[in-house]
Amino acid sequence: MTQAVVTAGSDEVEPGAIIEHGHDTNTGISNSKLAIWLFLSSEALFFGAFISTYFLYRGRDAQFLKGPTPDKLLNIPFTSVTSFVLLMSSLTMVLALAAIQRGDHTRLRIWLLATCLFGATFVGGQVYEFTEFYRKGLHLGTNMFGTTFFVLTGLHGAHVTIGIIWLLLLWGRSMQGRLPTEKSEAIEIAGLYWHFVDVVWIFIFTAIYLIPTH
Amino acid sequence: MTEGTDLVTLDPDATPAVPGGGALVPAGDHLPVVEGPHHPGPRQYVLIAVVLVILTGVEVATSYLDGHVNSNLLIVALAIMAFVKFFLVAAWYMHMKQDSNLFRRMFVGGITLACIVYGIVFLFFSSTTLKS
């Protein structure tokens, strides 16, 4: 059997292949990673539907601004801080992956917990914001802004919450010594999900908070 | 190792397993999953985070220019900055620059499909008055 290096995306072949580890797949790349990328691709369509709905109704529907209006409700400085927190959680997530890949399990656990803490802070901020809006009279059915805002940001918040639970489970596995360096892909996959949730927020933050509604 | 590559053992009688994917195996055979390419180090990750924070600051500052500059210009500027942030996170934190091209194609394919589908929705409803 000839040994060679195969470049994914090209047919470049070099002699002297190095097999590092792993199980066999049809593609030569991890099935789990393939699955998470496919899932994230479908999530792009999922969130795209809600972001599009928000823009579709925005400014084109008389009911959109009936009742409390976004310019009176949205607290940009506050949401900027929570956005910053979510961005920082992406950094700690990728640092957790770097830690397990070099076999530093203590730092892995620290960065995982930091990511969970940042994520929980973001969700806490969202809960506070929702409560404030509710007190000011914006409900799910008040107007189309309320409907599209609560559904879009609520679904995103649910994704962040799922991510926190996922990371806490991985942290627990690591604490029990059931997450060795060879299984770093488990962290990589959770990280891909987490970064995707961050990426979605980048667009939600711009669409709802930063682009003027008038 | 070069960027965007996977290491596999290749049989001389191999046939393409994934069209355009580059991995070659005889029909019916499986390839061993191999270690992914080298990812950037913590220093690069922190550098990207700094850029992301600066961009977010500029975005927020730009949003306060509403009423002082053309709103279309404002929207374009904000959209460009959001796309740059998206690119930085996807390319560096999600390792799309280093990982297999197949992942990139899959993800970009999903986003492209979303843009096409919702673009059609926008075109369809552009002349319609919406009722809630």
Question: What secondary structure does DSSP assign to B18-48, as a single string?
Answer: STTT--EE-TT--EEP-PPPPPPPHHHHHHH
Whole-number pLDDT of residue B124: 85
Q: Who has greater pLDDT, A62 or B22?
A: A62
| Complex ipTM | 0.85
Q: What is the mean pLDDT of chain A?
A: 87
Q: Give the mean pLDDT of A131-141.
A: 93
Q: Which one of A40, A52, A84 has the shortest CB-CB distance to B122?
A: A52
Query: Closest approach of chain B CAs to the CA of A135, in angstroms?
Result: 23
pLDDT tens string B54-101: 999 999 999 999 888 998 999 999 999 999 999 999 999 999 988 889
Whole-number pLDDT of residue B29: 53
**8 Å CB contact between B110 and A46:** no
Q: Which one of A26, A37, A202 has the shortest CB-CB distance to B106?
A: A37
Helix/strand/coil for A140: coil
Which tokens sit at A2?
């000839």
Contact check, Cβ <8 Å, A22/B35: yes
The beta strand positions in B1-132, using DSSP E, are: 6-9, 15-16, 24-25, 31-32
Instruction: Return the closest-CA partner of residue A29 out of A7, A49, A50, A11.
Output: A7
Contact check, Cβ <8 Å, B59/A56: no
Whole-number pLDDT of residue A155: 98
Q: Give the mean pLDDT of A128-151.
A: 93
**CA separation, residue A119 to residues A200, B52, B111 (Å):** 14, 17, 25
Sign of CA dihedral A144, A146, A151, A152: positive
pLDDT tens string A70-109: 888 999 999 999 999 999 999 999 999 999 999 999 999 9
Q: Give the mean pLDDT of A1-22.
A: 38
**CA separation, residue A13 to residues B11, B28, B46 (Å):** 11, 21, 35
Contacts 24+ apart (CB under 8 A), A60-64: A60/B129, A60/B130, A61/A144, A61/B129, A61/B130, A61/B131, A61/B132, A63/A143, A63/A144, A63/B131, A63/B132, A64/A143, A64/A144, A64/A145, A64/B132
Which tokens sit at B51?
């850029």
pLDDT > 70? residue A176: yes
**8 Å CB contact between B132 and A61:** yes
Contact check, Cβ <8 Å, B78/A28: no
Q: What is the per-residue DSSP string for A42-56?
A: HHHHHHHHHHHHHHH
Whole-number pLDDT of residue B117: 93
Strand B15-16 relative to strand A13-15: parallel, antiparallel, unpaired?
A: unpaired
The DSSP letter of residue B87 is H
Chain A: residue whose CA lies nearest to B86: A199
Sign of CA dihedral A100, A31, A5, B89: negative
pLDDT > 70? residue A204: yes
Q: Which one of B34, B89, B132 has the shortest CB-CB distance to A90?
A: B89
CB within 8 Å of chain A, chain B residues 26-45: 29-36, 39, 41-42, 45
Contact check, Cβ <8 Å, B117/A10: no
Element (H, E) at A15: strand A13-15
Q: Which one of B23, B30, B60 has the shortest CB-CB distance to A6?
A: B23
Chain A environment of B89 (Cβ under 8 Å) = 90, 195, 198-199, 202
Chain A: residue whose CA lies nearest to B66: A212
Contact check, Cβ <8 Å, A27/B21: yes
Whole-number pLDDT of residue A66: 77
- Which of A9-13, B4-8, B61-65 is the least confident region? A9-13
**8 Å CB contact between A17 and B8:** yes
Q: Which one of B32, B75, B82 has the shortest CB-CB distance to A202?
A: B82
pLDDT > 80? residue A15: no
Region of A67 on the Ramachandran plot (φ > 0 left; ψ -120 to 50 alpha; else beta): left
A204 contact partners, CB below 8 Å, separation of at least 6: A47, A51, A152, A153, A156
Chain A environment of B107 (Cβ under 8 Å) = 37, 40-41, 44
Contact check, Cβ <8 Å, A37/B22: no
Task: Give the whole-number percent of chain A exceeding pLDDT 90.
Answer: 72
Chain B environment of A43 (Cβ under 8 Å) = 110
Rounded to an integer, what distance in angstroms lies between the CA atom of residue B119 and that of residue A92? 35
pLDDT band at A214 (very low <50, low <70, confident <90, very high): low
Q: Give the mean pLDDT of A28-53.
A: 93
- Which of A9-23, A27-41, A154-168, B104-118 is the least confident region? A9-23
Contact check, Cβ <8 Å, B103/A34: yes
pLDDT band at A138 (very low <50, low <70, confident <90, very high): very high
pLDDT band at A29 (very low <50, low <70, confident <90, very high): confident
User: Considering the entire predicted model, what is its pTM?
Assistant: 0.82
Contact check, Cβ <8 Å, A5/B7: yes
Whole-number pLDDT of residue B129: 62
pLDDT band at B14 (very low <50, low <70, confident <90, very high): very low
